[in-house]
Amino acid sequence: MKRNSGNVRQSLYSEVTDRVIAELEAGRLPWVQPWEASACGCALPENGVTGRRYSGINILILWAAVMERGYGVQRWLTFRQA
């Protein structure tokens, strides 16, 4: 069954909005470097196969994943690439 891309996109936007609101409620500005630099190699995330840098909201989503999970690199794959 094919998922409705509109619902998937809305879910993603809701998730990002909820994260930003949680950071603001905790007294942090998520667009200003509130993190400890050593906990995040906060270079721009890039695709591990093509080398293309991610842009827009994808940067915030991927930075959040790095900080939450402690990943050591900013190279990512799409589902199909994996």
37, part of any domain = no
Number of structural domains found in the chain: 2
Q: Is the pLDDT of residue 31 over 70?
A: no
| Res 30: pLDDT | 66
**Residues 56 and 26 reside in one and the same domain:** no
**Residues 53 and 73 reside in one and the same domain:** yes
Q: Is the pLDDT of residue 81 over 50?
A: yes
pLDDT-derived band at 3, boundaries 50, 70, 90: low
Q: How far is CA 48 from CA 17, 40, 41, 55, 71, in A?
A: 27, 18, 15, 15, 14
Q: Is the pLDDT of residue 28 over 80?
A: no
User: How confident is the model over 37-79, as pLDDT tens digits?
Assistant: 555 555 889 999 999 999 988 888 888 888 778 888 889 998 9
**Residues 48 and 77 reside in one and the same domain:** yes
**Residues 47 and 77 reside in one and the same domain:** yes
Domain with 60 in it: 42-81
| Res 1: pLDDT | 46
